[in-house]
Structure 1
Amino acid sequence: MTLTQSIDDVWRPKAMRALRETERAILESIRRFPNQSRAELAQRLDYSKALLTQCVTGFLQEGWVTEERERVPSRRGQPALRVKVRKGAIGGLGLSLSTGGIRGAIVDLSGSILGTAESSVNAQDVQAGLAAAVDIVSDLLHRADCLAGITIWAPAMFNAAGEIQEVTPTQSGIDFNEYRSQIEQKFGVSVSLESKCPSIDEAMFGSDPDALIFVLFLDYGVGGSLVDGLRVFRGGYGQAVNIGALVPDHGIRPSLPDLATYLDLADPEPDPALIATLLEHEDQRLWTWIESRGKALSDPLSIVVQFFNPTDVVLSGMFPRPVLEGLLGQIDLTRYDAPGRVPITKPRLRIGRNVGATSLAATAGSTSLFRVMVAQG
């Protein structure tokens, strides 16, 4: 597809309608706690059965949820009807743009990835990149009945107004705003830019809704974000919990460019196939890098534990799972425990739900769902 094609030449998706506050709360409860009965939903939310029935009936008519009788009755009498979101009914589409290519994914309300697509086009080439992005979006839109929106993951610092202030150096040649504007115009749906997609994905699908999570994501830089339930903490100026503030510019930050420099690679974005090959052959240079970088994360993450006392510390990003697991195995969260004092309860250390080369597109898709389900900008 070329940019000279008219807007009418592009198939436009059915956009998800705006939700009222009560509808949002009910649909979120159905999503988060599947297979509840209407009575259980009403009790959980403290809503009247009449209001609950009205909303669920509307969702059934929209095709967003299904309702089936339980096979084994939980009590005497007629088996209860159980409600859950319908797979593929509502999709959130995500894109990640980089010098190494353009990737897309569409995710539904159950957290399932309905489809992925990618192109090797360097996103710095706006003309070719936009054509590739439009092809990817066109391919993925058909995987869901209606679309919640499109989110483009941007490795950038944003201000309080949500505007990009600075893009990470290796990707600074990509015009993210131009991609957003052109894709929004072509498909007639809301397109957003977001840097904290891995954290939002964990908030939506990866944890208890009451958990306090610190997510560390390793990509073209090293980013951190604090998630309290379904609220992403951004700070008064939109720049809070930047892990870079805990590691000096000349310090060790385990990113893709850092690994490329360590391995003397010309490309600052190592090919995923190369990393897979190094893992398969148990390359000593790679494992030495993993050991040293994992240990280097111990100081900043120990500070996070002291400051925020999270229930979970999650390691996420573009590296393959074995690399993240190796880094995780080297992290020590006791660096700032005071001798003679009761130590702070340590969080669970775990790997993120979506990791690897296509992970950022998938987490951007989750972010599109988050924006309509949680109504947080």
Structure 2
Amino acid sequence: MTSPDEPPGSAAHVLALVANGSATSRADLVRELGLAASTVSARVQELVEAGLLTESGEGASRGGRRPRLLRVAGQGAVALAADLGSHHIRTGAVGLTGDVLDAEDHATDLTTGPGPALDALAERLGALAERQRAAGRTVRGVGIGFPGPVDADGARVVAPSRMPGWHLFPLRDRLADRLGLPVLLDNDANMMALGEHRAAHPARRHLVVVKAGRGIGSGVISDGRLHRGAHGSAGDISHVRVDESARLPCSCGNIGCLETVASGAAIAAALRERGIAAESAADILRLVEHGDAQATTLVRQAGRDIGAVLAVVVNFFNPEAVVLGGALAGAQPLVAAVRAMLYERCLPMATSELTIATAVRGPDAGLLGAGHAVLTGTPPTLPRSPGGPATREAPTPRRTPTS
């Protein structure tokens, strides 16, 4: 599959084609990519020199010399990944072929502050690293998806709503010190966008991937790459004002934000006000599946509100696909309402070939995106504490050569 971070024909694209079995030789790559043999050979040589590909043995001949077979080096190499929610952490290991291994969910309340959450995250990832090493795998780094804004350098959390104490917390460096591994940090919706792009839409160059769960966010893939904007806040639709919520205060300090009416937390709160027990997105889905009229009405209206915001995004950005993910994407009334609003409010030119789909990787999308970003990019180098190096040094993952 095409890497979400690199254009077709790049070294990362070549690596992906070999990893997923689409190509086993340079000749296969020439046919798959439609590039000159000299260009393909240059890409392959970059990857071999970087230690990401090996070339040995002979394949079947198609009339000439037998081709040398290409393989991904170190098939046992993995990246650790964590997808954080306000009340849970999902961890797993991601391989070069896109497999998610040893995935687990853990209840953790991020709203209590960064100290307890950092302890829990370090403990879970440390145990995961030991299990991977015991299985003979090399751990190359850690990718983290955080449910809030992350600065442009990918080092600190910036003013996350509903999470006091996290503002400017250096999560990347603190976690790297604790684990002795390089760490890559980004917003959870961005990581989900990378995962869904790689898993389900590798040929598309322009996507908007929405994560609708307890909160709401989106990740933007532009020209095949994750678009983070000037300061890292691209795709944050949760604080766009919508008419239906004009008088409702938001945790960000403004009023009328999308989050106040269309997030899982807002829907659950509205249900509780009506005497209906609901704490989580799972509770909301259960009520909708059982035909509860009030839950269904609220979810459908949330879909309209999300669709109204996305209509502006689609008209402005003109993506090839809008992908709806997160727990609330399992509610069909919400998905149908989003789709209806997009077709109602967008220009026909913007929707004539627009794909509107639900995410296919479910809860593993964020893990896949975080792991893939580590394995095909360059996480920050391991920081040095005032007392010297981190307690356990680990090699920084090699960078995939660019085109």
Same fold (TM over 0.5): yes
Look up the equivalent residue of 1:117 and give its one-letter code: E
Cα contact 2:86–2:109 (8 A) shared by 1: yes
Cα contact 1:204–1:230 (8 A) shared by 2: no
How many Å apart are 1:282 and its aligned residue?
3.5
Cα contact 1:94–1:151 (8 A) shared by 2: yes
Equivalent residue number for residue 143 of structure 1: 132
Q: Any residues of structure 2 matched to 1:313-332 within 5 Å, and which? A: 313-317=322-326, 319=327, 321-323=329-331, 325-331=332-338, 332=340
Equivalent residue number for residue 106 of structure 1: 93
Structure 2 runs not aligned, ≥5 long: 1-8, 243-254, 379-398
How many Å apart are 1:27 and its aligned residue?
1.9
Match of 1:369 among 367, 370, 375: 375
1:191 and 2:197 are equivalent in the alignment: no
Aligned partner of residue 22 in structure 2, secondary structure:
coil
Match of 1:351 among 355, 358, 365: 358
Q: For residues 140-163 of structure 1, give each alpha carbon's deviation from its aligned partner in whole angstroms, at most 9, with x where no partner exists.
A: 224372233212212223444445
1:90 and 2:98 are equivalent in the alignment: no
Q: Distance in 1 between matches of 2:73 and 2:359?
A: 25
Equivalent residue number for residue 265 of structure 2: 257
Cα contact 1:126–1:175 (8 A) shared by 2: no
Equivalent residue number for residue 396 of structure 2: none
**Change in CA separation of 1:98 and 1:329 when aligned onto 2, cut-off 3 Å:** closer
1:278 and 2:287 are equivalent in the alignment: yes
Equivalent residue number for residue 199 of structure 2: 205
Greater mean deviation of Cα atoms: 163-172 or 306-315: 163-172
Look up the equivalent residue of 1:296 and give its one-letter code: D
Match of 2:321 among 312, 322, 327: 312
Q: Any residues of structure 2 matched to 1:89-238 within 5 Å, and which? A: 89-123=76-110, 124=112, 126-141=114-129, 142-143=131-132, 145-162=137-154, 164=156, 166-174=158-166, 177=169, 179-195=171-187, 196-238=190-232
Work out the percentage of aligned pairs sharing the same amino acid.
Answer: 20
Look up the equivalent residue of 2:344 and give its one-letter code: R
**Change in CA separation of 1:171 and 1:212 when aligned onto 2, cut-off 3 Å:** same
Equivalent residue number for residue 336 of structure 1: 345
Greater mean deviation of Cα atoms: 245-254 or 103-112: 245-254
TM-score (norm 1): 0.74
**Change in CA separation of 1:375 and 1:241 when aligned onto 2, cut-off 3 Å:** farther
Q: For residues 6-25 of structure 1, give each alpha carbon's deviation from its aligned partner in whole angstroms, at most 9, with x where no partner exists.
A: xxxxxxxxxxxxxxx98656
Q: Distance in 2 between matches of 1:63 and 1:194?
A: 24
Q: Distance in 1 between matches of 2:366 and 2:168?
A: 15
How many Å apart are 1:223 and its aligned residue?
1.7
Aligned partner of residue 359 in structure 2, secondary structure:
strand
Q: Distance in 1 between matches of 2:336 and 2:58?
A: 45
**Change in CA separation of 1:192 and 1:342 when aligned onto 2, cut-off 3 Å:** closer
How many Å apart are 1:121 and its aligned residue?
3.4
Coordinate RMSD, CA, aligned: 3.9
Look up the equivalent residue of 2:27 and give its one-letter code: A
**Change in CA separation of 1:87 and 1:321 when aligned onto 2, cut-off 3 Å:** farther
**Change in CA separation of 1:277 and 1:106 when aligned onto 2, cut-off 3 Å:** same
Cα contact 2:54–2:72 (8 A) shared by 1: yes
Structure 1 runs not aligned, ≥5 long: 1-20
Q: Distance in 1 between matches of 2:61 and 2:293?
A: 56
TM-score (norm 2): 0.70
